[in-house]
C-alpha cells in the first residue's frame, strides 16, 4: 500500500462546494466516487439508503432525499468535537484535526474525509470516527458491539488512509462515564479486500448502466425506497404482464394477504368483545387507575390508566391558517403490492 493522495483541504468550504468535491473530486474529473458513508449502502445494510437509491444518485437520476432527521444530522455534526474531546480524555492517543479530502492510492473512486486523525504514543497514525445517537439506540453498542454499517465505513477509511487502527466513539447522553462507547478496529486486509471487491462491482455497474437489485435489502426499506424512486402511479401506464416464473410468488402473496384479512377480522371481533366487556369494568373503576382480583390460584391485575397524546388538528389548521398548512404539509408516498386471485370463467 502507498500513502493516500491529498486532493484538497475542505476547511472553510461551503456545503455545496464540499459536496461537489466529494461527488467528483475537486477538479470534477472523477466520474463516480464512493465515500465512507456510501459503503454500507453498497452492501445493502444501511438503515437509510438502499443500493438502488445510491446507484441512481451516482448516475444523476435522483438527488438524496430530505430526511425527517435533518436536525438530528446537524446535531451529530455539532457533537463531533465534543465526542472527540471526551475520547481524548479517556485515551492515550492524541486527537489530530484533519480536514483533508483523500483519495486511495490504487482505487481512484475511493475518497475519504475523516472526522479526526489519531496519533498513538509510539507515533503511529490512526483514525477517529465520532458518532452520536439517541438513548433508544444505545443498545446497538452494548457488549462491545459496533453497528455493522459503521464498521464498514471505518474499515474503508483505514484502507484509503493506509492506517492500521481506528477508534469509533459514540455518545448518547450527557454523562461520558455511562453514555459513551469507545470501540477499537484494527485493520484487516482480508476483510478490506472483500469490501473493495464489492465496491469495484458497484462502480462497474455504474459504467455498464446495470442497476443493483433489492435482493439483499431489508424488505421494509426496499419497499419504501421503490415507492420513493418510482413515485405516484401513472394511470396511463400499460399493465405489466408477468410470466410463469412469477406464478408461485404472486400466489403466495395473495394467500398471505387473504390470511391477514382473516386475522384482521378475527382481531376486530375480539376487540369489539373486549370493549363490550370493559364497559362494566371501567364503570366500576371510575376514577381509580388500578384494581385487583385475587383467587386461590392467581390474581388479576387491572390497569385503567389515562394516557393523553397531543395531535395537530389538521382540519382546523387548514381552515384557520391555510398558508401555514401548505407550508408544513409534506407529501408521503407509499405503494403496496396487492395480489387478487380471480378464477377464469369457462
Cα–Cα distances (Å) from 106 to 2, 24, 200, 331, in that order, read 8, 17, 12, 44
Residue environment code for 215-229, b if the CB has 16+ CB neighbours within 10 A, otherwise e = eebeeebbbbbbebe
Query: 119: which DSSP letter?
Result: E
Arch. (CATH architecture) of 5-207: Alpha-Beta Complex (3.90)
pTM value is 0.73
State the pLDDT at residue 197: 95
State the pLDDT at residue 318: 75
State the pLDDT at residue 23: 93
Q: How far apart (Å, rounded) are the C-alpha atoms in residues 184 and 328?
A: 43
pLDDT one digit per residue (tens) for the chain, 346 residues: 689 999 999 999 998 999 999 999 999 999 999 999 999 999 999 988 999 999 999 999 888 766 566 788 888 889 999 999 999 999 999 999 999 999 999 999 999 999 999 999 999 999 999 999 998 889 999 989 999 999 999 999 999 999 999 999 999 998 999 999 999 999 999 999 999 999 999 999 999 999 998 877 877 777 777 777 776 655 567 777 888 888 888 888 888 888 888 888 888 889 888 888 888 888 887 888 888 888 888 888 888 877 766 677 777 777 777 776 676 666 665 555 454 455 666 5
Give the burial class of 332: count Cβ atoms within 10 A of its Cβ; 0-12 exposed, 13-18 middle, 19 or more buried: exposed
Residues forming CATH 3.90.320.10 domain(s) in the chain: 5-207
State the pLDDT at residue 109: 96
> In terms of Cα–Cα distance, which of 36, 48, 42 is closest to 104?
36
What is the end-to-end Cα distance of the chain in Å, rounded?
71
State the pLDDT at residue 68: 60
Amino acid at each position: 500500500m502507498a500513502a493516500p493522495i491529498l486532493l484538497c483541504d475542505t476547511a472553510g468550504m461551503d456545503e455545496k462546494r464540499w459536496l461537489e468535491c466529494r461527488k467528483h473530486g475537486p477538479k470534477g474529473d472523477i466520474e463516480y466516487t464512493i465515500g465512507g458513508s456510501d459503503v454500507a449502502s453498497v452492501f445493502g445494510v444501511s438503515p437509510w439508503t438502499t443500493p438502488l437509491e445510491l446507484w441512481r444518485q451516482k448516475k444523476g437520476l435522483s438527488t438524496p432525499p430530505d430526511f425527517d432527521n435533518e436536525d438530528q444530522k446537524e446535531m451529530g455534526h455539532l457533537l463531533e468535537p465534543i465526542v472527540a474531546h471526551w475520547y481524548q480524555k479517556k485515551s492515550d492517543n492524541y486527537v489530530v484535526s484533519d480536514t483533508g479530502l483523500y483519495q486511495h492510492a490504487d482505487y481512484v473512486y475511493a475518497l475519504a474525509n475523516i472526522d479526526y486523525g489519531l496519533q498513538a504514543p509510539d507515533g503511529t497514525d490512526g483514525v477517529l470516527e465520532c458518532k452520536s445517537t439517541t438513548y433508544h439506540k444505545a443498545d446497538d453498542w452494548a457488549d462491545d458491539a459496533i453497528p455493522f454499517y459503521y464498521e464498514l465505513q471505518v474499515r474503508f477509511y483505514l484502507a484509503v488512509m493506509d492506517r492500521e487502527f481506528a477508534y469509533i466513539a459514540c455518545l448518547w447522553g450527557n454523562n461520558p462515564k455511562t453514555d459513551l462507547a469507545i470501540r477499537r478496529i484494527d485493520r484487516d486486509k482480508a476483510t478490506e479486500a472483500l469490501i473493495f471487491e464489492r465496491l469495484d462491482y458497484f462502480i462497474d455497474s455504474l459504467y455498464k448502466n446495470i442497476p443493483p437489485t433489492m435482493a439483499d435489502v431489508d424488505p421494509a426499506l426496499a419497499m419504501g425506497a421503490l415507492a420513493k424512486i418510482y413515485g405516484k402511479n401513472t394511470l396511463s401506464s400499460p399493465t405489466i404482464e408477468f410470466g410463469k416464473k412469477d406464478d408461485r410468488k404472486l400466489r403466495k402473496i395473495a394467500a398471505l394477504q387473504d390470511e391477514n384479512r382473516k386475522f384482521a377480522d378475527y382481531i376486530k371481533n375480539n376487540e369489539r368483545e373486549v370493549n363490550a366487556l370493559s364497559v362494566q369494568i371501567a364503570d366500576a373503576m371510575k376514577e381509580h387507575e388500578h384494581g385487583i382480583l385475587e383467587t386461590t390460584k392467581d390474581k388479576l391485575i387491572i390497569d385503567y390508566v389515562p394516557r393523553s397524546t397531543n395531535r395537530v388538528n389538521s382540519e382546523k389548521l387548514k381552515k384557520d391558517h391555510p398558508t401555514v398548512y401548505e407550508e408544513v404539509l409534506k407529501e408521503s408516498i407509499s405503494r403496496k403490492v396487492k395480489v387478487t386471485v380471480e378464477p377464469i370463467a369457462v
